[in-house]
Chain A
Amino acid sequence: AQKITQTQPGMFVQEKEAVTLDCTYDTSDPSYGLFWYKQPSSGEMIFLIYQGSYDQQNATEGRYSLNFQKARKSANLVISASQLGDSAMYFCAMREITNAGKSTFGDGTTLTVKP
């Protein structure tokens, strides 16, 4: 079974609107971390946001927030006030302590922001 599932291969959003990118995960480890990375067309991987499994509050970083629903094992990324520069591929990842602390990535969602 896939550990990280991103069900939206592609998403479109109008500039200045908010968009939610879905991510569900599968783990039996009580201690884990969830991450979102951005990959622009230039190819580099950029860390966006982190949520720890024991964190009580949803993580926020500027226009990015992580909607963490532990019981549903979901960690959706919300981007508010989309900008043209947000067009990129977005990857959800999970780091499990029992998996030697390695990170596992989903297949990604390509986001296109329309002017």
Chain B
Amino acid sequence: DADVTQTPRNRITKTGKRIMLECSQTKGHDRMYWYRQDPGLGLRLIYYSFDVKDINKGEISDGYSVSRQAQAKFSLSLESAIPNQTALYFCATGGTQNTGELFFGEGSRLTVL
């Protein structure tokens, strides 16, 4: 089983719908992140959480919200999806171990029509 699991892996939805992307991890890390990747571009940080009670906005948080239900679970919501939120979304954990690399989920591809 993957250390970082994202569901759903693919989702097509319509403008105005509420969407939730879920992430769970078995790495035991306190830090969790949500990134967005647009075609041909790098990853941009949406939200991050350093523990269950610590949630912070990233560089592109408008239109998104998150919930840290437990150390292992971090979900991303689009309250009212719009077409320019069509992207590949990654959940990641880590960043505090000696080298600080991130461990990524396999990504959730979201299409908003």
Interface residues of A, Cβ cutoff 8 Å to B: 4, 9, 33, 35, 37, 43-45, 47, 50, 52, 91, 93, 95, 100-108
* A107 to B42 CA separation, bound complex (whole angstroms): 4
Q: B104 contacts A45, CB within 8 Å?
A: yes
User: In the complex, are the beta carbons of B106 and A107 less than 8 A apart?
Assistant: no
Query: Judging by beta carbons under 8 Å apart, are B90 and A45 in contact?
Result: yes
Chain B interface size, under 10 / 10 to 19 / 20 to 34 / 35 or more:
20 to 34
Question: Which parts of B88-113 form the interface with A (CB within 8 Å)?
Answer: 88, 90, 92, 95-96, 99-104, 106-107, 109
**B106: nearest chain-A partner, CB-CB:** A44
Known: A102-B95, A103-B102, A106-B42. 6 other contacts (CB 8 A): A45-B43, A50-B99, A100-B48, A101-B31, A104-B45, A107-B40
User: How close is A52's CB to chain B, nearest CB, in angstroms?
Assistant: 7
A100 touches B56 (CB 8 A): yes
Q: Does B12 contact A (CB under 8 A)?
A: no
17 residue pairs of the A-B complex, CB under 8 angstroms, read A33-B99, A33-B100, A35-B102, A43-B88, A45-B92, A45-B104, A47-B103, A91-B42, A95-B100, A100-B48, A100-B56, A101-B31, A101-B95, A102-B58, A102-B95, A103-B100, A107-B42
**Which residues of chain A are near B42, meaning CB under 8 Å?**
4, 91, 105-108
A-B pairs, top 3 by smallest CB distance, nearest first, are A105-B42, A45-B104, A50-B99
Binding site for A on B (CB under 8 A): 31, 33, 35, 40-45, 48, 50, 56, 58, 88, 90, 92, 95-96, 99-104, 106-107, 109
- Do B41 and A101 have beta carbons less than 8 Å apart? no
Query: Could you say which residues of chain A place their CB within 8 Å of the CB of B95?
Result: 95, 101-103
Q: Report the separation of the CA atoms of residues A91 and B88 in the bound assembly, to the nearest whole angstrom.
A: 15
Q: Which residues of A contact B106 (CB under 8 A)?
A: 43-44
